[in-house]
């Protein structure tokens, strides 16, 4: 393996027969006047050497970077995580910003903030659960220009994107109520889903209260056996809810299957609504009524807000609309 030296701007300067300062002026497009001839020489030299400026040195000198740091979101805190990240990354790249997802999703609090601060990012995009007041303060003190929080409730100490992963439950419940359903039930899976499930359950209860509707709680897991007792009970019309919010589309499909096995018809006997707009929901019959976020719009609004924040402006007004979940009415409810 040849011990090639990583080319620096000095190498480019030497090859072009000019000073390093000139190289910098050319490559960064300063308004400093440079003759076209030398400009071309410098560009050619940089290309020949495959010169790539050292981001560390640049950031050190400038006192800031163009990094947008996104600590690895814990599962469920961002809707459509991989799609969201893909869109956000492309959007930010178009704005001259580098999205960096930082690895360990267990890091949090002040301890995590110190790790994130080490990179001296221009901006950090955090969920509220980890963006505590001291964490945000530490980041600010480390020179992070923009700290954007995601979640509800919004912290008063930093601008926030009110992405509420439980909002889909609210929208779904409103739809059920508008259809005249008053006896509701809600699946509440445990395990890895527990945290989000509790919040969605609360959202359902809250929305139901407005119409004085009652909500039965069904703890479960992703196995038919876990909902079998409830389904058996519901065979008796006296104990049967009008409609079920099933936490998400997977649970909804499982529930619909179990109901059919028990001889109950969806939506005639029980209406079912899920969340997430999984493709299968549009395919299997009865097709699934669901609620979801427009993830691309959301990513666009977040990217735009970050850019505006860095420019000293306020959040993108389009955010308010983008965080609203959408309802897709199909056959199941």
> What gap in Å lies between CA 310 and CA 108, rounded to an integer?
24
> What gap in Å lies between CA 199 and CA 77, rounded to an integer?
11
Please report how close the Cβ of residue 88 comes to a second copy at its closest, in angstroms. 7
Q: Which residue has the tokens 């001259």?
A: 96
Q: Answer for the pair 124, 147: CB distance below 8 angstroms, yes or no.
A: yes
For residue 239, the partner it binds in a second copy, DNA, none, with Cβ less than 5 to 8 A by kind, is: none
Please report how close the Cβ of residue 81 comes to a second copy at its closest, in angstroms. 5
186: Cβ–Cβ under 8 A, 6 or more apart, which residues? 169, 200, 201, 204, 205, 215, 216, 217, 218, 244, 245, 247
Structure-token pair, residue 62 = 């400038």
For residue 99, the partner it binds in a second copy, DNA, none, with Cβ less than 5 to 8 A by kind, is: a second copy
Q: What character string, x for contact with a second copy (CB under 8 A) and - otherwise, covers 142-181? A: xx--------------------------------------
For residue 254, the partner it binds in a second copy, DNA, none, with Cβ less than 5 to 8 A by kind, is: a second copy
Q: CB-wise, 267 or 281, nearer to a second copy?
A: 281
> What gap in Å lies between CA 140 and CA 135, rounded to an integer?
9
Angle, CA of 33, 36 and 38, to the nearest 5°: 90
Q: Which residues bind DNA (CB under 7 A)?
A: 6, 8-10, 18-22, 24-25, 27-28, 30, 32-35, 37-38, 51, 53-54, 57-58, 60-63
For residue 268, the partner it binds in DNA, a second copy, none, with Cβ less than 5 to 8 A by kind, is: none
Structure-token pair, residue 105 = 């999703």
Residues near a second copy, by CB under 8 A: 1, 4, 6-7, 50, 52-57, 59-60, 65, 68, 72, 75, 81-82, 85-86, 88-90, 92-93, 97-107, 110, 114-115, 117-120, 138, 140-143, 222-224, 250, 253-254, 257, 279-280, 283-285
């Amino acid at each position: 393996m040849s011990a090639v030296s990583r080319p620096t701007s000095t190498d480019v300067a030497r090859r072009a027969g000019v000073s390093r300062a000139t190289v910098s002026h050319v490559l960064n497009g300063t308004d400093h006047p440079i003759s076209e001839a030398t400009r071309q020489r410098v560009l050619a030299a940089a290309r020949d050497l495959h010169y790539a400026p050292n981001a560390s040195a640049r950031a050190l000198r400038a006192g800031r970077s163009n990094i947008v740091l996104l600590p690895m979101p814990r599962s469920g805190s961002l809707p459509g995580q991989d799609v969201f990240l893909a869109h956000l990354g492309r959007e930010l790249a178009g704005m001259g910003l580098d999205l960096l997802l930082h690895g360990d999703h267990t890091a949090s609090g002040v301890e995590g903030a110190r790790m994130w601060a080490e990179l001296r990012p221009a901006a950090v995009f955090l969920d509220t659960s980890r963006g505590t007041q001291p964490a945000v303060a530490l980041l600010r003190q480390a020179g992070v220009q923009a700290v954007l929080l995601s979640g509800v409730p919004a912290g008063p100490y930093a601008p926030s994107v009110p992405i509420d992963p439980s909002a889909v439950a609210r929208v779904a419940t409103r739809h059920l109520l508008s259809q005249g359903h008053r006896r509701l039930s809600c699946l509440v899976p445990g395990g890895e889903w527990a945290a989000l499930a509790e919040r969605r359950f609360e959202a359902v209860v809250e929305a139901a209260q407005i119409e004085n509707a009652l909500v039965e709680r069904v703890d479960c897991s992703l196995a038919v056996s876990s909902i079998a007792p409830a389904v058996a009970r519901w065979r008796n019309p006296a104990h049967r809810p009008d409609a079920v919010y099933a936490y998400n589309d997977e649970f909804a499909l499982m529930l619909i299957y179990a109901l059919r096995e028990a001889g109950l018809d969806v939506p005639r006997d029980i209406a079912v609504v899920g969340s997430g707009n999984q493709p299968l929901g549009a395919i299997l019959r009865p097709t699934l009524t669901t609620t979801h976020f427009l993830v691309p719009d959301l990513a666009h609004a977040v990217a735009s807000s970050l850019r505006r924040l860095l420019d000293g402006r306020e959040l993108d007004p389009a955010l308010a609309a983008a965080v609203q979940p959408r309802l897709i009415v199909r056959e199941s409810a």
